[in-house]
Amino acid sequence: MLAIVCPGQGSQTPGFLTPWLELPGARDHLTRLGDAAQLDLVEHGTTSDADAIKDTAVAQPLIVGAGLVSLRALLDQHSIDVVDVWAGHSVGEITAAAAAGVLPEERAMDFVRERGRGMAAASGLTPTGMSAVLGGDQDEVLATIERHGLTPANVNGGGQIVAAGTLEQLAALAADPPAKARIIPLQVAGAFHTSHMAPAVEGLAQLATTLTPADPQGKLLSNADGEVVTNGTDVLKRLVGQVSNPVRWDLCMQTMLDLGVTALIEVSPAGTLVGLAKRAMKGVPAVALKTPDDLDAARDLIREHAGTSNPTD
């Protein structure tokens, strides 16, 4: 059983799309997605510097566009029926929803454009941020995060929880961390997936009323609780609410294991989710599509692990 997963914000690096745009049709594809997002995604994926692509309003459409471009390259000889399970981390859930057919690509880019702009604006209201808490006992980590008034914005599994809140609260956590845990400040603009993002929800909810979602093809997992969501309207509602609520990637990985996933491919900009899977989904082979050089290994997983009811040839 094959799962395709889609990364979230922070996975992008300067120039990461350059080799992908050498593939036939990829540049035109990304240009169309950028037009829908009202951004030059070709420039941002090839020549923009780290500061430019760290901007939330740029980073989120760039990540979704990159995922869709690399996915098309991966599945150029297959239909999406070879994919049994779809999941995405944070903004990557929009990539997964578009890939599963819930929204047409251009409408998904409209949605992520509004999401990125709204979250960037919300981040400017109060100085906030996020820090990764690595290691320690999970119950103690969660208790310490709560004691400092922070939110466990990402519970990622594999011994990684991301705390989010005001810069003062994060400084207090760094000064008084959980036992046997390391605190690593993240280079993000705000406290994503917390109540600090509530101002971004209203505009996104209004946009959602203009969209007509389809039911997903394959099993699409939700960041809210790791559950399989079969109704397109429910998927869209969850995507709106996700902005100000925690991401439970640990539960998504557990659901993949419960469903019997036997292989995992992470679309570009890849690496983070495969790293988490290696710790929390031990024994499940995984390929990170960092460059087109990784396509052959990923296609091998498709041939070997796609559901028997979904022919790959």
Q: Return the active site residues.
A: 90, 193
In the chain, the N- to C-terminal Cα span, in Å, equals: 16
Token code pair at residue 266: 């992470």
Token code pair at residue 108: 């998904």
- Name the residue type at position 150: L
Which of 195, 201, 206, 229 lies closest to 93 in space, CA to CA?
229
Distance CA 87, CA 100 (A): 9
Token code pair at residue 275: 């790293």
Tokens 């100085």 identify what position? 127
- Dihedral through CA 214, CA 216, CA 222, CA 225, nearest 10? 100
Per the CB < 8 A criterion, the answer to whether 48 and 14 are in contact is yes
Please enumerate in sequence order all residues whose Cβ is within 8 A of that of 149, keeping only pairs 6 or more positions apart, or say none.
165, 166, 169
Which of 92, 122, 95, 86 lies closest to 204 in space, CA to CA?
122
Distance CA 212, CA 8 (A): 24
Per the CB < 8 A criterion, the answer to whether 150 and 195 are in contact is no
Per the CB < 8 A criterion, the answer to whether 165 and 151 are in contact is yes
Question: Which ranges of 213-288 does DSSP label H, i.e. alpha helix?
Answer: 232-242, 249-259, 272-280
Q: How many CB atoms within 10 Å of residue 142?
A: 17
DSSP 8-state code for residue 76: T
- Name the residue type at position 74: L
